[in-house]
Structure 1
Amino acid sequence: MSVSPAAEKALREAMARLKTGRPLHTDGAFTKENLYKEARVSRATMNRAGEIMAEWDAHVAEYGRRTKGEARRDTEAEGLAEKLKDKTAECVKLRKRLEAAATVIAALHHDNQALREHLDSRTGKLADLATRREESRGGPAVIGPR
């Protein structure tokens, strides 16, 4: 069975729009229902277009039901998911390093406090660093480059 040249043209144009992800009359899903609706022909007319249906089936067998736009979107989403996975792993690694550094800083602070208390108990008074610097330089304490 065959269809009129106008119906064949409409079906081919509709198939091209669906393949490229640029539908005019449907949601763009790559289905036969959308094909005949996109072409604005009846389902029976579409079914009589044997050559076009064979092309449709061959395309679906080779590429699946995703349009080029959907395939591009899915590929991009997969790439972004991989980047997110990498960044998440990097954040976990950096968080562990940060926690380790915080633990070391806390231990050093504790040791520093213990040493100050020990020194204070031996001398009776613990001088702060600014006073020590001032005394060793013979002038006022300067913080930072001169």
Structure 2
Amino acid sequence: MERLLSGQPQHTDGKLTKNNLCREAGISRATMNRAPELLTEWDARTATSPAGRHHQRHTEELAELRGKLRKSRDQCHALQEQVDAAATVIMTLLAENASLREHATGRSAAVIPIPLSRGQATRE
């Protein structure tokens, strides 16, 4: 137990689990479960050990980073939807512009003067 709690395991990866406690002690899980006072002590000491605090900080940091990743992914999806919508609008405008250009080239290029109304004097 001391090796795990001090962060210096010899037979495991160092995670503070009851399975690792069994492996470090060289006993079976069934044997460990027959010692409830040992399990109670393990639970109490893992909460206050340096390795336990490190594991807890690591778990909290991991949860925070996962939340940030989820938020970033949501923002990315929202931005992608905006890009898709903008692309659709652009394609529609391009088609409309091409149609208007085609329509404009079909018209006569002659300039037709607009007659002045009777009440207006011509400039000289």
The alignment's TM-score, normalised by the length of structure 2, stands at 0.58
Q: In structure 1, which of residues 74, 94, 98 is the aligned counterpart of residue 59 of structure 2?
A: 74
Q: How many Å apart are 1:83 and its aligned residue?
A: 1.3
Residue 122 of structure 1 aligns to a residue in which SS?
coil
Change beyond 3 A, Cα 1:57–1:88:
closer
Post-superposition CA distance 1:42-97 (Å, at most 9, x none): x8xxx7xx8x876434325x57xx84443333223212211111111111110111
Verify: 1:96 aligned to 2:106, yes or no.
no
User: Which structure 2 segments of 5+ residues have no match?
Assistant: 110-124
2-structure distance, mates of 1:106, 1:70: 53
Task: Tell whether 2:22 aligns with 1:33.
Answer: yes
Residue 58 of structure 1: aligned partner: 44
* Structure with the higher fraction of residues in helix conformation: 1
Q: Residues 77 and 54 from structure 1, CA distance in 2 versus in 1: closer, same or farther, beyond 3 angstroms?
A: closer
Identity of counterpart residues, as a percentage?
33
Alignment RMSD (CA, Å) = 3.1
- Secondary structure of 1:84's partner? helix
SS of 2:106's equivalent in the other structure is: helix
Going from structure 1 to structure 2, the CA distance change for 1:116 and 1:68 (only over 3 Å counts) comes to same
> Per the alignment, in what secondary structure is the counterpart of residue 107 of structure 2?
helix
Say whether residues 1:110 and 2:92 are aligned partners: no
Letter in 1 for 2:81: K
Separation of aligned partners in 1, 2:40 and 2:98: 83
Cα distance in 2 for residues equivalent to 1:24 and 1:77: 26
Q: Which one of 68, 72, 75 corresponds to residue 87 of structure 1?
A: 72
Structure 1 runs (4+) deviating above 6 angstroms are none
